Amino acid sequence: MSRFFIFLGIIYLVGTFYGFQAFRTLVRNPWVQGVYVLAFVLVLANIYFQFSGYDRAQGMSQAMSISVGFFLAFMALGFISGAVMLVEDILRAVGWVLRKVFNASSGTQVHFPERRKFISQVALLLASVPFASLLYGMYKGKYDYRVLNYVLEFDDLPEAFDGYRITQISDIHSGSFDNEGKVSYAVDLVNQQQSNVILFTGDLVNSVATEMYPWKDVFRRLKAEDGVFSVLGNHDYGDYAEWDTEEDKEANLDELKAIQREMGFDLLLNENRFLNKGEDRIALVGVENWGAGGFKKAGDLKLALQGVEEGDFKILMSHDPSHWEYEVLQHPWHVHLTLSGHTHGMQFGVEIPGWLKWSPVKYRYKYWAGIYKELGQYINVNRGFGYIGYPGRVGIWPEVTVIELRKSKETT
């Protein structure tokens, strides 16, 4: 952590220096210049002191989360404006050297060119876009809930489930919440969809079960005709906190499971349930977290499918979409629909329906947000209900997914 912090601090300070050069070119008042520098210094000092007292056993505090947000915003301001100014410096230096060489014989004195005001204006204008966006994401974006509706058709959907509605939420991360009214509104929004079933695909907390204490009554209000079902995500196991003993860590996980039961969630731990309508049924399968790379691989699809028949229509809840990519698609049994989360869409990106969908997280996860179809099987990657790390969202808004299952119409 210390080396990473030092690396970020160096980038931050270099960006601050170049950003100040741009600012000084435009604003000559030394008092205003001093306020600009002071803001950068205070943000850096605040995040240093926050992390100096960081206790992994307690998780990230609200103050620390806000510090991270302001640090990222100011780093973007300094880094982007600094990048433009650095390019200008290189061009100024190259031009000075060339003029020095070509004018050497004439004895003409060559002065190093001054900064151009226009370049400084461009630098600050470009940098102000992510700076303002990151601040907006902290102020409003993190609670700007969106309901996304999808209709998926299947040839072999049981007749009684034609029109069946599923509401999916994921990545609550209760330890990050700071506004009960906004969260309560979002829970009501979920209920307003009046779906047949509600499915939660993991990461109830950031690090420890106690983070859920203030929010149990709010999420206890989630109701659906066929119930509320859940699975665990990578953050739910307590792997990102420090524990005195392994028994303490296990006790934390047991408490988190008990909280889910207390709220009325039916937690599926490598097991399944059947949703029944008359003589028709759907197999609802839930696995523990399975993630590619260094993430926990507690998910056991074979175990979770015990008691399910190959011909059953299957909906799988699996927190990490890499599980679908590496194991589910290759499984000999056809899993009709997988529901995941985990990526958060990195809480930052650009989405213009029908034209553009981009986030830096796409370079880490092939399936990172929305509906995908491969080999006749679907996955929905929910963008997340909450947030973690950066206390905001920009362009990738908190999501409530509603999926309607339809039986394909026969064509002649």
Q: What is the mean pLDDT of residues 111-134?
A: 81
- Strand stretches in 155-277, DSSP E: 164-169, 197-200, 228-230, 265-267, 271-277
Residue 315 lies in a domain: yes
88 within 8 A of 115, measured Cβ to Cβ: yes
DSSP reduced 3-state for 155: coil
Residue 32 lies in a domain: yes
pLDDT at 42 over 80: no
| pLDDT tier for residue 412 given thresholds of 50, 70 and 90 | very low
pLDDT digits 0-9 by tens, 168-196: 999 999 999 999 999 999 999 999 999 99
72 within 8 A of 390, measured Cβ to Cβ: yes
Count of CB atoms within 10 A of residue 24's CB?
A: 17
Last residue of a domain, one of 85, 111, 139: 139
Burial 84-118 (b: 16+ CB within 10 A, else e): bbbebeeebeeeeeeeeeeeeeeeeeeeeeebeee
Domain count, the chain: 2
pLDDT at 403 over 70: yes
Per-residue pLDDT, 63: 67
Last residue of a domain, one of 139, 154, 186: 139
pLDDT at 33 over 80: no
| pLDDT tier for residue 217 given thresholds of 50, 70 and 90 | very high
Hey, which residues does 164 pair with through a beta bridge? Answer: 405
Check whether residue 152 and residue 132 sit in a common domain: no
133 vs 76: CA distance, rounded Å: 10
Taking CA atoms, 87 is separated from 42, 361, 389, in Å, by 27, 27, 31
Residue 236 lies in a domain: yes
Q: What is the mean pLDDT of residues 282-302?
A: 96
383 vs 141: CA distance, rounded Å: 13
Amino acid sitting at position 180: E
Tell me the whole-structure pTM to 2 decimals.
Answer: 0.87
Cα–Cα–Cα angle for 29, 24, 33, nearest 5°? Answer: 50
| pLDDT tier for residue 99 given thresholds of 50, 70 and 90 | confident
pLDDT digits 0-9 by tens, 137-152: 999 999 999 999 999 9
Per-residue pLDDT, 387: 96
Q: Considering the chain, what is the average pLDDT of its residues?
A: 89
321 within 8 A of 343, measured Cβ to Cβ: yes
Check whether residue 299 and residue 323 sit in a common domain: yes
Domain of residue 283: give its range. 141-407
Residue 383 lies in a domain: yes
Check whether residue 347 and residue 325 sit in a common domain: yes
Structure tokens at 355: 């034209």
Lowest mean pLDDT, pick from 49-53, 287-291, 385-389, 396-400: 49-53
One DSSP character per residue, 97-115 reads HHHHHHTTTTT---PPPPP
Per-residue pLDDT, 166: 98
Residue 235 lies in a domain: yes
Q: Between 287 and 127, whose confidence is greater?
A: 287
| pLDDT tier for residue 130 given thresholds of 50, 70 and 90 | confident
Amino acid sitting at position 82: G
Check whether residue 131 and residue 147 sit in a common domain: no
| pLDDT tier for residue 286 given thresholds of 50, 70 and 90 | very high
207 vs 258: CA distance, rounded Å: 16
Amino acid sitting at position 66: I
Q: Which helix (H) or strand (E) holds 38?
A: helix 30-52
pLDDT at 197 over 70: yes
Q: Between 90 and 280, whose confidence is greater?
A: 280
pLDDT at 237 over 90: yes
77 within 8 A of 131, measured Cβ to Cβ: yes
Check whether residue 240 and residue 213 sit in a common domain: yes
CATH number of the domain encompassing residue 302: 3.60.21.10
Check whether residue 324 and residue 262 sit in a common domain: yes
Residue 412 lies in a domain: no
Last residue of a domain, one of 92, 108, 139: 139
215 within 8 A of 246, measured Cβ to Cβ: no
240 vs 296: CA distance, rounded Å: 12
Check whether residue 325 and residue 308 sit in a common domain: yes
For the chain, the 3-state helix, strand and coil shares in percent, each to the nearest 5, are: 45, 20, 35
pLDDT digits 0-9 by tens, 246-278: 999 999 999 999 999 999 999 999 999 999 999
Lowest mean pLDDT, pick from 4-18, 339-353, 394-408: 4-18
Check whether residue 100 and residue 19 sit in a common domain: yes
Hey, which residues does 206 pair with through a beta bridge? Answer: none
316 within 8 A of 287, measured Cβ to Cβ: yes
Residue 30 lies in a domain: yes
207 vs 252: CA distance, rounded Å: 10
146 vs 397: CA distance, rounded Å: 7
Check whether residue 119 and residue 147 sit in a common domain: no
| pLDDT tier for residue 106 given thresholds of 50, 70 and 90 | low
Check whether residue 135 and residue 257 sit in a common domain: no
Cα 382 from chain centroid? Answer: 10
Per-residue pLDDT, 160: 97
Per-residue pLDDT, 228: 98
Check whether residue 20 and residue 158 sit in a common domain: no
Per-residue pLDDT, 74: 76
Strand order in the sheet with 265-267: 146-154, 399-407, 164-169, 197-200, 228-230, 265-267
pLDDT at 79 over 50: yes
47 vs 70: CA distance, rounded Å: 9
Per-residue pLDDT, 1: 47
Per-residue pLDDT, 277: 96
Residue 345 lies in a domain: yes
Check whether residue 116 and residue 203 sit in a common domain: no
